[in-house]
Amino acid sequence: MKKLVKASLFFFFLSLPSHAHAGKVMFGDQDSIHFVANTTIAAPGGGHLYLGHLVTMHAFLLPYYVESKGLVFGISGESKKYIPLPTGGQLTELQNAGLLPNELPKTELSLFDYLFGFSLELFVLGMIGYGFFKKKFSK
């Protein structure tokens, strides 16, 4: 039984992220920008913009829902600030000028995003499973 508990704790902690969210209790919405591609567009106030994928995690102690908000311009040196990607004519102008690819990349959540984004549910299921196995094997 102790081996089962240790294994479940090992896999739970293995699923936790190794970046900025690690070890933090989370509440509310948490935005993160995943790098997609470099651009040569200058950012307001210096630096440059990069093409990024905006991912939002909704959390209560641990994340319980994750969603993709699409492509944005991330600002180099700023982990939480972004500029929405223009649409229509402005987007076409940037593509025609060669500042953005003609076909924008698809935005998909990674397996890691899903695992961490639904970690509250995984934790609850793990605790239910632990209780079930503890009750079943303690007799």
Domain locations in the chain? 24-122
Q: What percent of the chain has pLDDT over 70?
A: 82
Report the pLDDT averaged over residues 101-120.
90
C-alpha–C-alpha distance, residues 122 and 16, integer Å: 11
- The total number of residues shown for the chain amounts to 139
Distance CA 90, CA 99 (A): 11
Write the single-letter amino acid at 18. S
Q: Are 113 and 55 in contact (CB under 8 A)?
A: yes
Mean pLDDT of 19-43: 79
Q: For 79, list phi and psi in degrees, rounded to 5.
A: -85, -20
Instruction: Report the candidate in 68, 57, 34, 31 with the shortest Cα–Cα distance to residue 118.
Output: 57
Q: Is 62 helix (H, G, I), strand (E, B) or coil?
A: strand
CB atoms near residue 62 (< 10 Å): 20
**pTM (2 d.p.):** 0.72
